[in-house]
Structure 1
């Protein structure tokens, strides 16, 4: 790790990345792409030491409350968070200043901050987002080696369900010829149904590859799936979008199951939900806090 002081923390869309780089080791990670101009080794985490201070200044200046998002580029619960607790410090500020939170992770470490997530959700809205890609636990340990397994993430979703915190699942990416099977999709959706997730974001069955993450992905294919790199190059050349040949059938299954169980799946609707700030009235706060 290395520390830096940055000039700003919130994007125009009120998103933030507390760290840059990741140690989860997911073989498909788009954040490795060169277009993001990360001028250090991906596993050498850049720690924005003044992130909490900058966030507090930004929240103080805001005239209108809104949802604050984090986790889109770098998981807020990487291994260093256990020691540094910068994510927790930022969540505390979001609660203190009365803002909402939309947080995305693959890590069960988020349960550590359940107390704060509940407080935010009682006051405004807290949405916990979890990425699920692979129902098979053994496969999960290959393509997402250093992070909570799918089963462990499912347990987190159930914890959020039991505490009244809404959840949204990212069903992405689905790797052609590896996990683009009906069994995999149905297994993940069964988890979502049991956990009573509010919505599922799925852009289609496939993934994206560009300079930086493509090379790393192909290197890992050679390590774990001999011959698969050649199959990808033969099928897709050097395209950015890598759709599964099973896309239409799997998307049909996905939509049918979501409709049947009342799970939001329209992408625009999901993003509108994540960005919509909702302040609960006093009665709702009492009900959520168990004081009624």
Structure 2
């Protein structure tokens, strides 16, 4: 890891990244793509050392609303356990009466359950969890340095018990690896049992472009010999890599989510994530 000084911390839509880069090692990660202009090794995580100071200044000026993090970098990378930038950001978000949502694959989010509950009592706190495979052994290959799917499901269940709403990202689904009916149905079973509010799925497949394509193919050679050549024959250098089972699997996804009153339209889910329900009057700190 290394430190940097940031010029700003919140986007105009209240998106936030306290870290840049990741050590989870997910073989498909789009954030490795060169289009994002990262000027350091992906695993050499950039820590924005003045981020909390910047966040406090912005929260003082802005109207309370939802603050989101995790779109580019999982906020609960292992170094967060000691640095506690996310936890301290949550304290500020709670103090200033804002809501919060994050995308993560880590059970470290449970460390901050006390703050998530406080925020949710006043406004709204939503945890978004990525699930790609129901098979923990396969999970260890696809997402090697983060807790397995079974543990993430335990996190979803605990959050549900504590009244924290959850959303699942069902992606990416990798052709010839995890694009089976059994896998999709098993993940949907987990989501139904955990009473998630919504599942975001744009289709069964993944995206590849310069930067993440090379890393993905390197891992295919390592763990799935011969599969890279199959991808190259079928997809070339395409950005979109759809599964040949997309229609059948999406039919299953839409049918089962609808039957269980789980939101399945991404636009509807994003609208929910951005809605700011101010439950009690909160005086902003000076």
Q: Taking structure 2 as the reference length, what is the TM-score of the superposition?
A: 0.97
C-alpha distance in structure 2 between counterparts of 1:40 and 1:129, whole Å: 27
2:49: which partner in 1? 49
1:129: which partner in 2? 128
Q: Deviations over 1:165-201 (max 9, x none)?
A: 1000000100001000000000000000000000000
C-alpha distance in structure 1 between counterparts of 2:12 and 2:61, whole Å: 14
Q: Deviations over 1:109-149 (max 9, x none)?
A: 00000000000000000000000000111000000000011
Gaps of 5+ in 1: 283-292
List aligned pairs for 1:61-140, cutoff 5 A: 61-62=61-62, 64-140=63-139
Q: Does 1:235 align with 2:234?
A: yes
Q: Does 1:210 align with 2:209?
A: yes
Deviation (angstroms), 1:279? 1.1
1:26: which partner in 2? 26
C-alpha distance in structure 2 between counterparts of 1:154 and 1:280, whole Å: 28
Deviation (angstroms), 1:57? 0.5
Deviation (angstroms), 1:65? 1.3
2:284: which partner in 1? none
C-alpha distance in structure 2 between counterparts of 1:47 and 1:241, whole Å: 31
Q: RMSD of the alignment, in Å?
A: 0.7
C-alpha distance in structure 2 between counterparts of 1:147 and 1:39, whole Å: 24
Deviation (angstroms), 1:107? 0.1
1:255: which partner in 2? 254
C-alpha distance in structure 2 between counterparts of 1:19 and 1:187, whole Å: 32
C-alpha distance in structure 2 between counterparts of 1:49 and 1:89, whole Å: 12
Q: Deviations over 1:17-56 (max 9, x none)?
A: 1100000000000000000000000000100011111111
1:288: which partner in 2? none
1:160: which partner in 2? 159
SS at match of 1:271: helix
C-alpha distance in structure 1 between counterparts of 2:119 and 2:87, whole Å: 13
C-alpha distance in structure 2 between counterparts of 1:278 and 1:150, whole Å: 31
SS at match of 1:180: coil
C-alpha distance in structure 2 between counterparts of 1:180 and 1:84, whole Å: 37
SS at match of 2:154: helix
SS at match of 1:268: helix
Deviation (angstroms), 1:225? 0.3
C-alpha distance in structure 1 between counterparts of 2:155 and 2:187, whole Å: 14
Deviation (angstroms), 1:281? 4.4
Q: Does 1:201 align with 2:210?
A: no
Q: Does 1:141 align with 2:135?
A: no
Gaps of 5+ in 2: 282-286
Number of residue pairs the alignment of both structures matches: 281
C-alpha distance in structure 2 between counterparts of 1:198 and 1:10, whole Å: 26
2:176: which partner in 1? 177
